[in-house]
């Protein structure tokens, strides 16, 4: 049976949901390069971070915080990733403003070059006119599909050249759903 994969997104349709801002240092100082948490590579984080609540509301088990779309997850969600994909992710405890629970910054530490340009609805590649240092990466991907033959044992990964999607396999998806994840949406890729 062929493995299935899903883009784990934030469910924008949860009524009364909260929205989180970009993580900061505990003193409120800006974190340099919040986009590094969506690069699909291991990161070093020597201090605990704080995540501000931009719009108060119902806490979600997974939220993609701020402009950097940094995955912030509940302890329940973190335990699923820790159990099923320990080599694919890093989990860093963070403080979320106004809560006493433990939350985690989820950094996906794997990146695969597996976007299926032909099967995807539409892809646009970056040119020298866009970003000279990112020529050949994706400027847009609509109707994302991946080439599953290029995925090894990874259960959770980011895509080379298109850092927005957070891809999980069906086992991770099913475990998150079985745990009653609030705020996550899965789109098959």
Per-residue pLDDT tens digits for 123-162: 888 877 766 777 778 888 999 999 999 999 999 999 999 9
Residue 176: count of CB within 10 angstroms of its CB: 23
Which pLDDT value is given to residue 130?
64
Tokens coding 76: 């329940």
Tokens coding 175: 């475990």
Distances (CA, A) of 41 to 5, 88, 116, 150: 19, 9, 21, 18
Strands lying side by side in the sheet with 184-188 = 111-112, 156-159, 162-169, 5-10, 184-188
Q: How far is CA 138 from the centre of its chain?
A: 17
* C-beta separation of 40 from 157 below 8 A: yes
In angstroms, what is the C-alpha Rg of the chain?
16
Spell out where the chain has E strands.
5-10, 19-20, 24-25, 49-51, 53-55, 62-65, 70-74, 89-96, 103-108, 111-112, 122-125, 138-142, 156-159, 162-169, 184-188
Which pLDDT value is given to residue 134?
73
Specify the pTM: 0.93
Q: Please, what is the average pLDDT of the chain?
A: 94
**Where residue 171 falls among pLDDT bands split at 50, 70, 90?**
very high
Per-residue pLDDT tens digits for 80-108: 999 999 999 999 999 999 999 999 999 99
Which pLDDT value is given to residue 127?
76
């Amino acid at each position: 049976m062929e493995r299935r994969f899903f883009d784990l997104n934030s469910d924008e349709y949860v009524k009364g949901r909260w929205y989180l801002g970009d993580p900061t240092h505990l003193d409120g100082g800006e974190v340099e390069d919040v986009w590094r948490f969506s690069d699909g590579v291991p990161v070093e984080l020597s201090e605990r971070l704080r995540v501000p609540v931009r719009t108060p509301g119902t806490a979600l088990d997974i939220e993609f915080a701020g402009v950097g779309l940094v995955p912030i997850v509940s302890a329940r969600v973190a335990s699923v990733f820790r159990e099923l994909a320990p080599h694919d992710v890093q989990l860093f405890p963070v403080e979320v403003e106004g809560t006493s629970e433990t939350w985690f910054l989820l950094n996906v530490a794997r990146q695969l070059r597996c976007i299926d340009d032909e099967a995807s609805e539409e892809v646009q590649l970056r040119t020298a006119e866009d970003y000279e240092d990112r020529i050949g990466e994706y400027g847009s991907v609509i109707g994302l599909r991946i080439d599953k033959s290029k995925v090894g044992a990874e259960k959770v990964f980011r895509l080379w050249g298109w850092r927005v999607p957070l891809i999980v396999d069906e086992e991770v998806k099913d475990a998150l759903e079985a745990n009653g994840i609030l705020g996550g949406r899965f789109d098959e890729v």
